[in-house]
Structure 1
């Protein structure tokens, strides 16, 4: 569909980059990745893109910072007229207004569904496409809901789906421990940043239980809720993560043996 198009995906979360790159690559596009705001700025200065997908919340230089750099010093950027799509886990009416006022062309909310992604691309590239035929996804009857969502998010690519399960199983326990440690010393800012990463990964992969629990904890941290509320939210997120981890072996077996 987009074989002559070059897209830039900017996100500090590797799982998010893998999934969005997979979706775009399956549409035929060439995809460049940037792991930080600094890498994004350098890529935009030196390369030309048809569309940029920019995560808003990144450590150091945020998506908003990257957008300001582009708008304030447009002559130094090859892609000063390139549509920039904000990628975010939250977009309340006021946040949507701030995103558009900052200069973003549009926004996508995690989890990114294929039809929404396609609609945004068609809108800003002024194209109309006929979806390419896709291989039928594995039968979903009696399939584990986490397995079903990850397979759907990777377009039926079991190799990528298995890699994501492995990466999630590696990252989530460490991130959970980091949130616990930060809460133990009342470092709510750090706890919120790590919880946001968990939320983002879960959103992109369609792990709704983890996503909802992480979102509740992130909101509670932002509202400076009581220790009791934070502890309850933390425990709920921990239960969801442990439920996923306890099923890791079954998920990997199902993905490696279709």
Structure 2
């Protein structure tokens, strides 16, 4: 028998941010989305974007939680991180497709959230059964444009004299102004400890939740650093990939571009099993983070930029 779908019992997200229709009319995305992401900073940013688009959402921190969630709730779309503990995004997507075939269910769109946008990585996502992808760090314009291809939209009324709050204007996730693209295009020494332009975009998105998100980022780093340090001391390259990957994307989200660049290098070194080089990179990362942390704490104490 087919699994029973539970009735939705979720509050509607804010409808302040709306998509621009092709004829100049204001239209709003409609749907219930599952976000699968293990990094709390990345998760909070994406969830806020979806709420501003007028969508409702649930969250899961890995592929196993995702598979449990879809057993009890019907989702219109899944935003799936790739590298996660316990079960990664590609494995989870394969399981979703197997389940759909087993029970004769309608295919549910699964969109990859990935920091790796090279052709080979995209091909692996498609082979796993994913339908599309978006690059990290996720930008509101890019995400809205992508979701319009996969979710229905409805007319929405905006009262006269009231305008939607500004959503950060960004270029394509493959463009030169993308924070992670900047990280990849520059050496870590050339990057700022803290990029105020990226932070400005973050405050546009998160509004009054931005300061709390910065604190969450700082609170999350010690556990990541502990895992990195242990992996390097034990020479365990496989255990280094995931924490380095997590730090890379969350640091890019909060504007800690030098830390993000070094985390990217560390992830690459781990995949290549270059642990001596990783140990040197790790020392540089700790210095870069200390600089970024000082600036972030000052912003937190100030209550904003």
Name the TM tier (shorter chain): 0.7 to 0.9
Contact 1:10–1:54 at 8 Å: present in 2 too? yes
Q: TM-score, structure 2 length as denominator?
A: 0.74
- Give 1:58's match in structure 2, choosing from 70, 81, 84: 84
Deviation at 1:205, TM superposition (A): 3.2
Deviation at 1:159, TM superposition (A): 2.9
- Give 1:232's match in structure 2, choosing from 265, 280, 301: 280
Alignment partners' CA distance in 1, 2:249 and 2:288: 15
Contact 2:195–2:256 at 8 Å: present in 1 too? yes
Alignment partners' CA distance in 2, 1:95 and 1:109: 11
Contact 2:140–2:167 at 8 Å: present in 1 too? no
Alignment partners' CA distance in 2, 1:14 and 1:79: 31
- Give 2:252's match in structure 1, choosing from 197, 203, 207: 203
Contact 1:89–1:200 at 8 Å: present in 2 too? yes
- Give 1:15's match in structure 2, choosing from 41, 52, 73: 41
Partner of 2:183: none
- Give 1:115's match in structure 2, choosing from 125, 133, 141: 141
Residues 58-97 of structure 1: CA deviation (Å, up to 9, x unaligned): 1111111211111112156796422110111112111111
Deviation at 1:195, TM superposition (A): 1.1
Residues 168-212 of structure 1: CA deviation (Å, up to 9, x unaligned): 211213322331222111111112221111112123334322211
Query: Is 1:33 matched up with 2:59?
Result: yes
Q: Report the number of matched residues.
A: 250
Partner of 2:217: 168
Contact 2:194–2:255 at 8 Å: present in 1 too? no
Alignment partners' CA distance in 1, 2:53 and 2:143: 10
What is the SS of the residue equivalent to 1:59? coil
Q: TM-score, structure 1 length as denominator?
A: 0.86
Q: Which has the larger radius of gyration?
A: 2
Residues 88-140 of structure 1: CA deviation (Å, up to 9, x unaligned): 11121111111112111101110111121111111122659999721488xxx
- Give 1:93's match in structure 2, choosing from 109, 115, 119: 119
